Amino acid sequence: MPERTMIQIDDVTKSYGDFHALDHATLTIKEGEFFSLLGPSGCGKTTLLRMIAGLDQPTSGSISIDGQPMDGIPANARPTNMVFQSYAIFPHLKVGENVAYGLKRLKLGAVEEKRRVTEALEMVSLAGLDNRGATELSGGQRQRVALARALVMRPKVLLLDEPLSALDKKLREQMQVELRRLQQAVGITFILVTHDQYEALAMSDRIAVMFGGRIAQIASPKEIYQRPVNRQVADFLGGMNFVKAEIVEENGQSITVDTQGFGRVKTERPPAFAPAGRSATLGIRPERLRVRWDDATAKHEVKGTVIERHYFGEITHLLVEIPGMEKPLSVTETNDFGADDLPLGATIRLGYDPDALVAMAE
Amino acid sequence: MTAALEGTTPYRAPRAAPASFLKSEEAKGYTLIAPPFLYALALLGLPIVVVIAHSFWSQTYLTVDTTLTLDNYRQALFEPIYQDLLLRSLFISLTVSVTTVCLAYPVAYFISFHGGRHKGLWLFVITIPFWTSYLLRVMSWKVILGYSGVLNSALMGLGITDEPSSALLYNSTAVLITLTHAWVAFAILPIFVSLEKVDRTLIEAATDLGDGPVRSFLRVTLPLSLPGVIAALLIVMIPTVGDYVTPKMVGGTDGVMIANAIQAQFGRAMNKPLGAALSVTTMLAVTAMAFVSVMSLRALVRAFR
Ligand SMILES: Nc1ncnc2c1ncn2[C@@H]1O[C@H](COP(=O)(O)OP(=O)(O)O)[C@@H](O)[C@H]1O
Ligand SMILES: [Mg+2]
């Protein structure tokens, strides 16, 4: 993948009165990247996306697309196209006319226009539906029409605002795979807005996690999931056990901490780690704690008592009380060794990899 | 994957068995609309039947001869005086309705798109002229357009004309002006309602796909507000054809319309069957004109796609 910058967002702020919907955001998106803006509802994702599209103007800061500053360039002259959250299918036009909407202005000639519409509809598996009325479509089909209508314009950047949130779970998962495949086939830069962490993790090359108008972390899905920069990001990306820690020793690569429950631990020092003073928080994902079924004592393990058990089919969630820790540990274990049969009150040992304990800011 | 997989069959309420018709939703619906329906039937349907019947009869002095004849229609359609009056009425009604819609649309658009929090206030302001009676409003146009009226004084005061013009009042232009003013608020409301229903995201989508403000208006906003435009056009067109107060007050001899002739037949001329035939002819003519206007409007808007 070429490492060319496609979108440069430079210190952009969007204010409504005293309220900052987006607060000094700086972000670089590479050409051909599948980039996600992830965060809870109201954190400013749509605001940022609309400013890239040109539908809203930044209060301060600048945006450039493909090296060109976008100040003063209206939405209809930008090399971006958008799939709106509500899909915004024109109700008075047929499917084919919807897809051809933006092409009309380009005066391609009837044959070429028809060819491109057919091609776009095939791309989203809607071939042959040209003459269907826009109001006679299911939610999934509407989403595909919106996608085809944007892709047919061959934009440099495709903007997608929660495109899958209106679909049911099964269709959504299927579309995630399809959308990712489509992006790789066309090679266009995709910017996806979502509040669904699994969606962002499954589809993106990189993710920006946002809270309250600020970007908290920008990294690959794996990095974001495994090494969140703070508790807020960690929590948003899924379950995480937090352990209070005192820093004993610190260098460029590793830190050594004293913890409640886990004792003294030496672990990797994340590049973005910036502790305030000597206290830090360590986090470990529930699935990185594994129940030890053998009798051999491992080097890294904690002992505790099962106090709750929840069965989820292929996995079981356990709550395990560890002496010396305020909160019980949450553990996710596969059922192949009988985690679903562990009696409450049983004493178990949990093994872990010290590098799975991630140091982060409060 | 197949698109067909996603199609969901809409939920259908099971059809009520005939035996339980009286308890069904349908029966409830009919019961609800029965009083206004019967009322409308009695006061609208019956008079029309009476008028249509009369149009095929003939007048013999003081009584009406009920042998069927097409004589009245022959007169209504082929006598030059009635032809002229009908054509003039249709022309005035078409001009008034088109002008009214053209004036009302920008107002409705402004209120809907730029009215902000004061939409209600704007609509309220528009209804203020209706607090006085229609006759008073027509009279005020007489004051404005008359020989020594406001407009003439203003034109002379500004030095644009040397002496008052008598061409402003008592002609069909005066009828046009007065009718347009009278109907414009009725046209604003349906257009406003249909503009309110236009999803603003659709306009953003059009912009995103490359349309400037004019093109997105012609291709999205206008077609989607067309139902309101059509409603406004018909609301103005249909009643103005039959207006007879306005031509009587500001129209002079040049501004007489078909309704004045119909009134004369039912009144002084004592020829109810001819009056009835003129009425039926006018009704059919305005229906045809409304149909053609709506179709042309649709075709025009479709051409912008
Ligand atoms: N036009 C507006 N006027 C005032 N506040 C707005 C406007 N648009 C968005 N906001 C506020 O900005 C914040 C971010 O909105 P948005 O970007 O839509 O969030 P999301 O991350 O859910 O897409 C929200 O709190 C919203 O209320
Ligand atoms: Mg949003």
pTM for this prediction: 0.87
Check whether B21 has a pLDDT greater than 90: no
In the chain, the amino acid numbered B219 is R
User: What is the SS3 assignment for A360?
Assistant: strand
Assign A194 to helix, strand or coil: strand
Stretch A44-58: mean pLDDT, rounded? 97
Q: What is the dihedral of CA B112, B113, B114, B119, to 10 degrees?
A: 20
Q: What's the angle, vertex CA A346, arms to CA A342 and CA A350, rounded to 5?
A: 80
Of A152, A126, A148, nearest in space to A137 by CA: A126
B113 contacts B204 by C-beta, under 8 angstroms: no
Grouping H, G, I as helix, E, B as strand and the rest as coil, residue A16 is: strand
Q: What integer pLDDT is reported at residue B3 of this predicted model?
A: 41
Instruction: Give the Cα separation of B223 and B304 in Å (integer).
Output: 9
A5-228: which CATH number, 3.30.110.30, 3.30.70.1400, 3.40.50.300, 3.90.950.20? 3.40.50.300
In the numeric block, the tokens 């028809």 are attached to A114
Mutate to test the pocket of ligand 1, among A37, A45, A47 (most ligand atoms within 8 A of CB): A47
Percent of chain A with pLDDT over 90: 75
Going by CA atoms, what residue is nearest to atom 8 of ligand 1?
A47
Q: Pick the atom of ligand 1 nearest to A44's CA.
A: 17
In chain B, the N- to C-terminal Cα span, in Å, equals 32
Q: What is the DSSP string of chain B?
A: --GGGG--PPP-PPPPPGGGGGGSHHHHHHHHHHHHHHHHIIIIIHHHHHHHHHHTSEEETTEEE-S--SHHHHHHHHSHHHHHHHHHHHHHHHHHHHHHHHHHHHHHHHHHHH-GGGHHHHHHHHHGGGGS-HHHHHHHHHHHHSTTSHHHHHHHHTTS-SS--SSSSSSHHHHHHHHHHHHHHHHHHHHHHHHHTS-HHHHHHHHHTT--HHHHIIIIIHHHHHHHHHHHHHHHHHHHHT--HHIIIIITTTT--HHHHHHHHHTTT--HHHHHHHHHHHHHHHHHHHHHHHHHHHHHHHHT-
Q: Could you give the residue range(s) of every CATH 3.40.50.300 domain in chain A?
A: 5-228
Tokens (6 digits) for A300? 């890294």
Q: Is the pLDDT of residue B100 over 60?
A: yes
Six token digits for residue B89: 């009425």
A22 CA from centroid of ligand 2 (Å): 12
Mean pLDDT of B134-139: 90
- φ, ψ at A186 (rounded to 5°): -90, -20
Are A314 and A274 in contact, with CB atoms under 8 Å apart? no
Nearest to B248 by CA among B142, B167, B168, B146: B142
> CA-CA distance, B163 to B23, in Å (whole number)?
76
- Which residues of A make CB contacts under 8 Å with B? 53, 55, 74-77, 80-82, 84, 86, 88, 90-93, 97, 101-102, 104-106, 125-126, 129, 138-141, 144, 149-150, 153, 171, 174, 178
Q: Does residue B9 carry a pLDDT above 90? A: no
Instruction: Report CA Rg, chain A.
Output: 24
**C-alpha to C-alpha distance for A25 and A211, rounded to whole angstroms:** 11
Q: Quote the minimal CA–CA distance from B294 to chain A in Å.
A: 17
Query: Which span out of A76-90, A260-274, B6-20, B55-69 was modeled with the highest average pLDDT?
Result: A76-90
Domains in chain B: boundaries: 26-55, 68-304
Per-residue pLDDT tens over the stretch B111-130? 999 988 999 999 999 988 88
Taking only the tens place, the pLDDT of each residue in B245-265 is: 999 989 888 888 999 999 999
Contacts of B207 in chain A (CB under 8 A): 55, 74-76
Q: How many CA atoms lie within 13 A of A246 on its CB side?
A: 6
- In this prediction, residue B2 carries a pLDDT of 41
| A2 pLDDT above the threshold of 60 | no
Domain spanning A239-360: CATH 3.40.50.2000: no
Ligand 1 neighbourhood includes A41 CB (under 6 angstroms): yes
The SS3 assignment for A133 reads strand
CA dihedral B183, B185, B189, B190 (to 10 degrees): 20
Whole-angstrom distance, CA of residue B301 vs CA of residue B25: 39
Q: How far apart are CA A205 and CA A215, in angstroms?
A: 17
Q: What is the rounded distance in angstroms from the CA atom of residue A87 to the CA atom of residue A78?
A: 19
Both tokens of residue A290?
């594994």
Q: How far apart are CA A293 and CA B32, in angstroms?
A: 74
Rg (CA), chain B: 25
Tokens of A289: 């704690």
Work out the pLDDT band at A336, boundaries 50, 70, 90: confident
CATH superfamily of B68-304: MetI-like (1.10.3720.10)
Q: How confident is the model at residue A200 (pLDDT cuts 50, 70, 90)?
A: very high
Q: What percent of chain A has pLDDT over 70?
A: 99
